[in-house]
Structure 1
Amino acid sequence: MSCQRDNLPSCVENQIKQIQAQGVWSPPAKIYQYRYQGRTVYFIPQRCCDIPSQLLDENCNQICSPDGGFTGAGDGRCSDFFKTRTDEKLIWEDTRR
């Protein structure tokens, strides 16, 4: 799976810049693109412990947190995400050490 950053919405590019302005995450930050409920979405996996993941729409509005958080199950607003998502593309991975 290769990184594909062509034609990303500017808000996703801004998300990448915000992550790069922070310390290196463990595990390293990644952003995936999927199709979910008929639209393009961007998934930022949980980075550690009790920090929830983020599922964003094309304008970087948060749709939900599919996993992570205190329970590990996210916020419950998109419990079908992992079963129904399609067309996975890794669009960015932080390669800093």
Structure 2
Amino acid sequence: MAAKVANPPIRIMSYEYNGQTVYFESAPCCDNFSTLYDAKGVVLCQPDGGITGRGDGNCADFEKKRTNEQLVWQDPRQK
């Protein structure tokens, strides 16, 4: 909560992906990468964002294969 308020607000979503629960942290804005973590907090990839909007390419199928979307947390502060 000490970080600057992002627009749009940062969200953490959980999904099922490739047989495991993963956590997606949205990007704060424009050309920044989002981050996908496994259940232990290890970074798996950056599924979207960057100049191309396609992330780092290491989980290009994430959007198509993810299921069971659930909101875990969203920054409650408004900008």
What is the TM-score normalised by the length of structure 2? 0.94
Partner of 2:3: 22
Divergent runs of 4+, >6 A: none
1:55-74 equivalences in 2 (<5 Å): 55-74=36-55
Deviation at 1:95, TM superposition (A): 1.0
Specify every segment of 5 or more residues in structure 1 that has no aligned partner in the other structure, as ranges: 1-19
Show CA shifts across 1:24-64 (max 9, x none).
Answer: 11100100000000000000112211110000001111100
TM-score under structure 1 normalisation? 0.77
1:42 aligns with 2:23: yes
| Aligned length, in residue pairs | 78
In structure 2, list runs of 5 or more residues that go unmatched. Answer: none
Give distance in 2, aligned partners of 1:47 and 1:23.
10
Structure 2 residue matching 1:78: 3-state secondary structure: coil
Larger helix proportion of the pair: 1
- Which of 28, 40, 51 is the matching residue for 2:32? 51
Residue number in structure 2 paired with 1:17:
none
**Please, what is the CA RMSD of the aligned residues?**
0.8
